[in-house]
């Protein structure tokens, strides 16, 4: 292949990423494992919930009409009776939340609305029928949809399903990612960094492999079963860089380089129907290319709505921030109260800049920078965007 | 024990929670497992990083003085030479990021600053010595502190450590939580819901047990080894509620009830030096008491800085929101664009209200509510607060 340095625009890179579909296929999970997954089928209630009327709070089951007119300055008196009796006029039964509603009762006084005195109960509040009661089918009625397909499952959703007797759910499986470390690494900095990032963005890392030769990488690109293949390292123009040639020969290169900095050496292509991203091996470039391109791809395939993995906040620039025209710059910033201070431009080579930084500002391709005192949007390294 | 319904104020409940220390003890983890943990000891660099000067980008190693005066309108020409040669005046060597800096070179032209033409190189940019070079010890020098004790480990921090040859780190262990389901559950709604919530708030759930009798719960409270014991259910005033009596007899009750709604039945106490929280069994009350009280305790013990587990955003109330004086109300809200709409008050009994809601507003004990059109702060169920 005849390779010429001509990076694509950020828009072209985004268009390339956004062509890929959400990862298909579903998997059945026990409820306690399913938080955060997307439901792939709607779930209906098999019965009314609750099956019979219940007490919704601790307190005293009463006949609402017996409390008519009661108030702090006009307490009425009821007589306490045993829990297994049918409630008659003028009577009250002590109950717990979740108990079946005693026969004859139609409301529950809370503990702060009544005061027991031996076998009598001073009532200081007037109730309407149904107050403090959970009626049959009030949580849901038989055949109601408990949760609709496409729902991202929250802990309380799981409780709702458990409540309805559901044991497991079919959910969209996460995009399966294989990470290949290409080239000759002394220490696996990129693999160590990318593993938690892949999990953060909704991917399931199903394997980390190394490829120290062109032959190995060819075989991996052709044979590995995954939804996404990420290759870190070996994507440059040097004598040991074989990843681009391998991708070219085994599949197809889409975009060779993007006008982002750091991380502009990212290469995007495919093998059959699988997207393949070649990330620069230098850890800072790898991090930036991952956050701007690979994270967008994984988040898309995992059906997350926000393409950027970090939460954003606005700060005031404490000194001028200069940017080169022609590339999207990821300028690492330190935060101090309401102020953001750019790190020195020379730090562009240093992974330590992303360790010292609290986040980064994105400077568009056509931006020359911002003056001291301007408002800037900073993406915070410690606050991940879940949705 | 003589139990009387007299709930503590929210301030008293917070004071009780805030007396507990961060969970002590550390654990050694491999780097790829350590993201999000707090480092318990500072880590120093064993050597300079890099050990020798490196190329910081793909391009061409040159002698900076040879590029003096080069520009787009005044390209200079250098001669390409083999990578293993010492660089002489007027020469350039093609390099990859991460290569050792060729002998004699002191700067790297990027691929966009030079254009190869057979064995010649057209140079369109003038460099200063050191540009594109990562000098010996520039990431860090021997004995520099790579990361300080107390740091919450980010993915890039792990890369920095891997880069320095570190294989594992000592980190603060998570608070270990045992969850006991007390009483007679048909379906384990609370356990299913609480498991992911405990993980979210930085706890490690080391066991879920059930207690269907007072004797079992006594034994569990006395014998279980954990940093926190959460008990769901059995905390009310009913005939089957034995959890409060068990906690009273095995340890000590601190606060019996808090003026929050829903979830006011939460009970806080200790057995020896362990905090024990009794959460109401009704799933909606359980969720609210967990989010307002138990999450605060876990997040504190896990050294998270924000006591509330959800991110907050401001919205405009689409209709009046009424609140009772005397309790902190957790009012579930639906979000529609910039508007927040309160769910019906009657939904206070229904778990489904927290399923239909997008988040909640907190109405202080002395608040009577807010008028239509006011700004309200909504905590979003789908956006967790990581720090």
Q: What are phi and psi of B78, to 5 degrees?
A: -115, 165
The secondary structure of residue A306, as a DSSP letter, is: -
Rounded Cα distance, B137 and A250, in Å: 39
Angle at B325 between CA B322 and CA B331, to 5 degrees: 45
Tell me which residue of A339, A287, A277 sits closest to A310, measured CA to CA: A287
Cβ-based neighbours of B5, under 8 Å, separated by 6 or more: A111, A112, B237, B257
- Burial readout A1-20 (b: 16 or more C-beta within 10 A, e: otherwise): eeeebebbbbeebbebbeeb
H or E stretch at B221: helix B214-223
H or E stretch at A127: none
The secondary structure of residue A258, as a DSSP letter, is: B
Q: Which of B83, B94, B351 sits opposite A237 (nearest CB)?
A: B94
Structure tokens at B242: 């034995």
Q: Check residue A186 and give its pLDDT.
A: 66
| Strand A145-147 with B267-271, pairing | unpaired
Q: Which residues of B touch A57 (CB under 8 A)?
A: 282, 349
The superfamily in CATH containing domain B27-48+142-172 is: Molybdopterin biosynthesis moea protein, domain 2 (3.90.105.10)
Angle at B230 between CA A32 and CA B181, to 5 degrees: 60
Q: Where are the beta strands (DSSP E) in A47-131?
A: 54-55, 59-62, 76-80, 91-95, 107-110, 114-117, 120-123
Tell me which residue of B300, B207, B221, B223 sits closest to B267, measured CA to CA: B221
- Burial readout A29-45 (b: 16 or more C-beta within 10 A, e: otherwise): bebbbbbbbbbbeebeb
Tell me which residue of A189, A227, A185 sits closest to A210, measured CA to CA: A185
Q: Domain map of chain B by residue range?
A: 10-23+174-301, 27-48+142-172, 54-134, 310-384
Rounded Cα distance, A265 and A327, in Å: 12
H or E stretch at B193: helix B189-200
Best interface-test mutation with B: which of A46, A61, A84, A98 has the largest number of B CBs within 10 A?
A: A98
Give whole-number Cα distances, B231 to B152, B243, B267, in Å: 30, 8, 10
Q: Which of B156, B196, B282 sits opposite A97 (nearest CB)?
A: B282
* Residue A294 touches partner B, C-beta closer than 8 Å: no
Common-topology check for domains A10-23+174-301 and A310-384: no
Structure tokens at A72: 């702090």
Tell me which residue of A54, A30, A163, A174 sits closest to A102, measured CA to CA: A54
Structure tokens at B263: 């979830």
Cβ-based neighbours of A135, under 8 Å, separated by 6 or more: A53
Rounded Cα distance, A189 and A171, in Å: 33
Cβ atoms A118, A99 nearer than 8 A: no
Tell me which residue of A90, A72, A73 sits closest to A81, measured CA to CA: A90
Tell me which residue of B228, B235, B233, B188 sits closest to B207, measured CA to CA: B228
- What distance, in Å, lies between the first and last C-alpha atoms of chain A? 40
Rounded Cα distance, A246 and A251, in Å: 8
Rounded Cα distance, B265 and B45, in Å: 52
A84: left (phi over 0), alpha (psi -120 to 50) or beta: alpha
CB pairs under 8 A between A and B: 211
Tell me which residue of B254, B261, B298 sits closest to B280, measured CA to CA: B261
Structure tokens at A146: 């408990």
Cis, peptide link before residue B262, omega less than 30° from 0: yes
**Residues paired with residue A274 on neighbouring β-strands, in sequence order:** A271
Q: What is residue B248's three-state secondary structure?
A: helix
Q: Which residues of A touch B383 (CB under 8 A)?
A: 386-387
The secondary structure of residue B113, as a DSSP letter, is: G
Rounded Cα distance, A262 and A348, in Å: 7
**Residues paired with residue B60 on neighbouring β-strands, in sequence order:** B94, B109
CB contact under 8 A, B98 and A351: no
Q: Check residue A301 and give its pLDDT.
A: 96
Cβ atoms B191, B209 nearer than 8 A: no
Q: pLDDT per position in chain A (387 positions), as tens? A: 778 778 999 999 999 999 999 988 999 999 999 999 999 999 999 999 999 999 988 899 999 999 999 998 989 999 999 878 899 999 999 988 888 999 999 999 988 899 999 999 999 999 999 999 999 999 999 999 999 999 999 999 999 999 899 999 999 999 999 999 998 666 789 999 999 999 999 999 999 999 999 999 999 999 999 999 999 998 887 767 899 999 999 999 999 999 999 999 999 999 999 999 999 988 999 999 999 999 999 999 999 989 999 999 999 999 999 998 899 999 999 999 999 999 987 677 889 999 999 999 999 999 999 999 999 999 999 999 888
Rounded Cα distance, B13 and B267, in Å: 10
Q: Which residues of A touch B155 (CB under 8 A)?
A: 192-197, 200, 287
Tell me which residue of B186, B353, B184, B183 sits closest to A47, measured CA to CA: B186
Cβ atoms B241, B212 nearer than 8 A: no
Give whole-number Cα distances, B209 to A316, B25, B212, in Å: 51, 25, 10
Tell me which residue of B194, B166, B145 sits closest to B34, measured CA to CA: B166
CB contact under 8 A, B158 and A387: no
Rounded Cα distance, B366 and A312, in Å: 33
Tell me which residue of A378, A211, A254 sits closest to A308, measured CA to CA: A378
* Residue B364 touches partner A, C-beta closer than 8 Å: no
Cβ atoms A182, A218 nearer than 8 A: no
Distance from chain centroid for Cα B335: 25
- The burial class, CB within 10 Å (0-12 / 13-18 / 19+), for A244 is buried
Q: In terms of CA atoms, which chain B residue is nearest residue A386?
A: B383
Cβ atoms B129, B64 nearer than 8 A: yes
Cβ atoms A314, A374 nearer than 8 A: no
Half-sphere exposure of A226 (CA within 13 A, CB side): 27
List chain B residues with pLDDT less than 70: 184-186, 239, 346
CATH number of A310-384: 2.40.340.10
Structure tokens at A385: 């965007």
Rounded Cα distance, B191 and B209, in Å: 9
- The burial class, CB within 10 Å (0-12 / 13-18 / 19+), for B202 is buried
Give whole-number Cα distances, B374 to A149, B310, B312, in Å: 34, 21, 16
The superfamily in CATH containing domain A26-49+139-172 is: Molybdopterin biosynthesis moea protein, domain 2 (3.90.105.10)
B361: left (phi over 0), alpha (psi -120 to 50) or beta: beta
Q: Check residue B186 and give its pLDDT.
A: 66
User: What CATH fold (topology level) applies to the domain A54-134?
Assistant: Molybdopterin biosynthesis moeA protein; domain 3 (2.170.190)
Q: Check residue B5 and give its pLDDT.
A: 77
Interface of B with A in 44-103 (CB under 8 A): 56-59, 83, 94-99
Interface of B with A in 164-203 (CB under 8 A): 164-165, 187-197, 200
| Strand A359-363 with A328-336, pairing | antiparallel
Q: What are phi and psi of A379, to 5 degrees?
A: -90, 125
- Burial readout A147-156 (b: 16 or more C-beta within 10 A, e: otherwise): beeebbbbbb
* Residue B362 touches partner A, C-beta closer than 8 Å: no
The secondary structure of residue A290, as a DSSP letter, is: I
Rounded Cα distance, A339 and A314, in Å: 9
Q: Check residue B346 and give its pLDDT.
A: 67
**Domain A10-23+174-301 annotated CATH 3.90.700.10:** no
Cβ atoms A63, A107 nearer than 8 A: yes
* Residue A160 touches partner B, C-beta closer than 8 Å: yes
Q: Check residue B348 and give its pLDDT.
A: 76
CB contact under 8 A, A189 and B162: yes
């Amino acid at each position: 292949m005849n390779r010429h340095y001509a990076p694509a625009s950020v828009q072209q890179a985004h268009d390339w990423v956004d062509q890929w579909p959400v990862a298909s296929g579903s998997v059945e999970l026990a409820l306690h494992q399913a938080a955060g997954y997307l439901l792939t089928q709607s779930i209906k209630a098999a019965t009314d919930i609750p099956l019979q009327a219940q007490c919704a709070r601790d307190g005293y089951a009463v006949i609402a009409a017996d409390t008519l007119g009661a108030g702090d300055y006009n307490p009425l008196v009821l007589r306490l009776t045993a829990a297994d009796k049918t409630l008659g006029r003028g009577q009250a039964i002590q109950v717990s939340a979740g108990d079946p509603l005693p026969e004859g009762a139609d409301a529950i006084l809370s503990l702060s609305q009544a005061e027991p005195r031996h076998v009598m109960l001073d009532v200081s509040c007037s109730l309407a029928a149904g107050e403090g009661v959970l009626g049959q089918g009030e949580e849901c009625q038989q055949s109601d949809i408990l949760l609709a397909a496409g729902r991202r499952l929250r802990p309380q959703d799981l409780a709702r399903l458990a409540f309805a007797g559901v044991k497991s759910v079919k959910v969209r499986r996460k995009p399966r990612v294989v990470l290949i470390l290409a080239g000759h690494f002394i220490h696996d900095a990129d693999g160590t960094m990318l593993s938690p990032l892949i999990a953060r963005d909704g991917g399931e890392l199903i394997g980390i492999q190394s490829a120290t030769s062109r032959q190995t990488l060819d075989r991996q690109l052709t044979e590995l079963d995954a939804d996404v293949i990420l290759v870190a390292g070996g994507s440059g123009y040097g004598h040991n860089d074989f990843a681009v040639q391998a991708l070219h020969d085994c599949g197809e290169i889409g975009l060779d380089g993007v006008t982002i900095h750091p991380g502009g050496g990212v290469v995007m292509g495919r093998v059959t129907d699988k997207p393949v991203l070649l990330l620069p091996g230098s850890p800072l470039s790898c991090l930036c290319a991952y956050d701007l391109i690979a994270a967008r791809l994984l988040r898309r395939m995992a059906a997350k709505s926000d393409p950027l993995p970090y939460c954003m906040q606005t700060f005031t620039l404490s000194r001028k921030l200069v940017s080169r025209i022609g590339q999207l710059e990821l300028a690492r910033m330190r935060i101090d109260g309401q102020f953001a201070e750019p790190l020195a431009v020379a730090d562009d080579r240093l992974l330590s800049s992303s360790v010292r930084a609290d986040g980064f500002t994105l400077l568009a391709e056509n931006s020359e920078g911002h003056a001291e005192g301007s408002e800037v949007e900073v993406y915070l390294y410690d606050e991940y965007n879940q949705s």
